[in-house]
Amino acid sequence: MTGTSNSLPGMPFYCLRVRFRGLPFAMAAVVFLAVILSIAVVSAITNITTDEHALLSLEAPITSWSSSVIHVCNWTGVTCNRHGRVAALNLSNMGLLGTIPPSMGNLSFLVSLNLRNNSFSGGMPKEMVHLRRIKEINLNFNDFSGGLPTFMLGEK
């Protein structure tokens, strides 16, 4: 590895040249891929943590939900996609109450949401607009107030 310093008037300039002397290209490629894969794993863990926090933010979370016990994809009422992201949430008939927290809008891979027959109240948080993949929503038999956001009505 060599370094040179050239100066332009008033501006220092540094150039770093890296040569892999004695290190085959294949080895350098393996190191590069290991770094990229490490970044991808950290990103996947962050995404699951985001989904986990969104679910735990319910005012009355399901008692069997605990990040210290089992993976979020194994929680009651949660179905994940092949990438381990929450794709369906079926909390029907669970006796839940309170409001829908804004962080539920962070479930960016959610396709199906079933909250039927609980005691949720208030309105839908504006953050739910982030659920771009949502195809099915069942909110029947709750105590919601106000109108539904236009994205839930299929309007653009």
| pLDDT tens digit sequence for 35-49 | 555 544 444 444 557
CATH superfamily membership of 55-156: Ribonuclease Inhibitor (3.80.10.10)
* CA atoms of 121 and 143, how far apart (whole Å): 5
Residue 7 has pLDDT above 60, yes or no: no
Three-state DSSP at 6 gives strand
Q: Place 98 in a pLDDT band, splitting at 50, 70 and 90.
A: confident
Q: Place 139 in a pLDDT band, splitting at 50, 70 and 90.
A: very high
Residue 129 has pLDDT above 60, yes or no: yes
Tally DSSP H helices, then E strands, for the chain.
1, 9
**Predicted pLDDT of residue 55:** 83
Please give the order of strands across the beta sheet that includes 119-122.
97-98, 119-122, 143-144
Q: Could you tell me if residue 106 is left (phi over 0), alpha (psi between -120 and 50 degrees) or otherwise beta?
A: alpha
**Predicted pLDDT of residue 79:** 96
Q: Please give the mean pLDDT across all residues of the chain.
A: 74
Encode pLDDT of 72-95 as tens digits: 888 889 999 999 999 999 999 988
Q: Place 132 in a pLDDT band, splitting at 50, 70 and 90.
A: very high
pTM (2 d.p.): 0.64
Average pLDDT over residues 98-118: 93
Residue 155 has pLDDT above 90, yes or no: no
Residue 135 has pLDDT above 70, yes or no: yes
Q: Place 53 in a pLDDT band, splitting at 50, 70 and 90.
A: confident
